[in-house]
Structure 1
């Protein structure tokens, strides 16, 4: 009786529908595609569909689906971008109403104009509610660019963050530089807090070693962003941050890729961070993904897959 009453209140929009947390990720090298896990509290995560793929990659030079980033857009659709290859000049894109049935996959050649581009890695999307448009952004190395931080470490990669704007994922603005913090930077992800934008990013510098996460801020989604902060992660190598605010606490999940497990840090003020890695549990083999929210009804549909 209580549940029937609650369902009626939700259906008639008197109370909001309950939401749960979802996590998109890949396993191995990303060959089999999109994996999903869910959590009621943001700490304990359970895989869906027996940890098998929801979507097999079909586009790009290597047909991989690494670093899947999913957001819910202003149109109610779930939009996903991902890394298709280690050496391609574009990214993968698809959308879905239910995370089960997906649109035809697209290859978006965001760096095709720059012939010296070596890679297009870890794309993300942030929805700009003010301008009703989407910013897609990613890390690329352009041969010869930013010589002041060029190194022979990590196969000579020397990334900066780039972006493009779209309203419909059909037409795109010219690609522009999003962030040059003065070091080799990858894996940026951006969240909005009130009228500010928070960029969580990885300092990829290997010599002297960094390989940690930092943050920067801006009044506008497209920047300019402040100088990067001091490291917010500890004495381990971290990558692929994804962040969410749960009950006033910011939680940043990340791939402790050398330790083959997931970690997390937590903060109320984005200044003082506590490592809560021992309090979280992810499916074995989880790699660089993104956290977002879905309705409890959608979760039930996913569980039946």
Structure 2
């Protein structure tokens, strides 16, 4: 079972087992131990050193990540001579990768392909080690200047979607597109998530949207490009309309922050991973995490993710039962 920036992890607890003996009194109940199934957390990311290479990490606790394979995949046409964060590069990049495991057992990554343009990149792997380029998908909407930070989302209904921030010149608006075939080769035309339009009077909007489904509602964590804080909006449907419930530095994560990824934890909590990138901030270049045990209303102080903070950028995490 998969768990990612948009699905739930259901952790099963063993039920008490009573031994009943016919014809005499029941023996003392024997209770099976309550166990938490092992979970493997897989992170895909790019790095401060390269915006064209996919790095893959694994963890047993969502905190200590070990490198599974560095530079596991590079999209066709990528130029290795380009500086790692050069915003003038118009070649094929691998930024903001998002990981998903399909019913066919294979892993799929979708990623940003360029600073400017209207395409998203897709790649596939059977083992997380060797990857194959599938295709670049051109968003069929006129005048798209930027297509950034795509994120997989599996709805409880079975719908498989990609959330992507699109800018047609009036600011970034999160959109959703739905897989139209089981092979994930064709997609519905992206539509805006209602209620997450650019702020009036600005041309900034919202990017890096990740959605989780919890208690029958959809919680969208979005980066406000005007304030640079990660804010929270809620809706009854994936497509919206969304209403903002938390804005500004409501969770104490500070700012600027971006590249957020939210996953459920086996103990009933939630964890968010965040990029910190402010040059005036002592946590510049850090990759942070913070936990909530109160249905998103309170969060722990953000801490650098050990071992990888300062190296990785905009990772997303997929959790699976072993």
Superposition TM-score tier, normalisation by shorter sequence:
0.7 to 0.9
2:51 equivalent to 1:36: no
For residues 1-305 of structure 1, the aligned pairs below 5 Å read 18-28=38-48, 30-49=50-69, 52-58=70-76, 62-110=91-139, 112-115=140-143, 117-130=144-157, 132-143=158-169, 145=170, 158-166=171-179, 167-168=181-182, 169-179=184-194, 180-183=196-199, 184-205=205-226, 210-230=227-247, 231=249, 232-246=251-265, 247-258=267-278, 259-268=284-293, 269-278=295-304, 280-282=306-308, 284-294=310-320, 296=322
Q: Which runs of 5+ in 1 are unaligned?
A: 1-14, 146-157, 297-305
> What is the TM-score normalised by the length of structure 1?
0.78
- Matches of 2:264 and 2:142 in 1, distance apart? 37
Q: Displaced runs of 4+ in structure 1, greater than 4 A?
A: 278-281
* Structure (1 or 2) with the greater helix fraction: 1
Count of aligned pairs between the two proteins: 260
- Matches of 2:193 and 2:155 in 1, distance apart? 15
Is 1:58–1:105's contact at 8 Å kept on the other side of the alignment?
no
Is 1:57–1:63's contact at 8 Å kept on the other side of the alignment?
yes
Distance 1:236 1:129, change over 3 A: closer
Is 1:212–1:233's contact at 8 Å kept on the other side of the alignment?
no
Residue 44 of structure 1: how far off its partner (Å): 2.0
What's the C-alpha RMSD, in Å, of the aligned pairs? 2.3
Residue 64 of structure 1: how far off its partner (Å): 0.7
Which stretch has the larger CA shift, 227-236 or 260-269? Answer: 227-236
Residue 124 of structure 1: how far off its partner (Å): 0.7
Residue 182 of structure 1: how far off its partner (Å): 4.4
> What is the TM-score normalised by the length of structure 2?
0.74
Residue 16 of structure 1: how far off its partner (Å): 9.0
Distance 1:99 1:279, change over 3 A: closer
Structure number, greater radius of gyration: 2
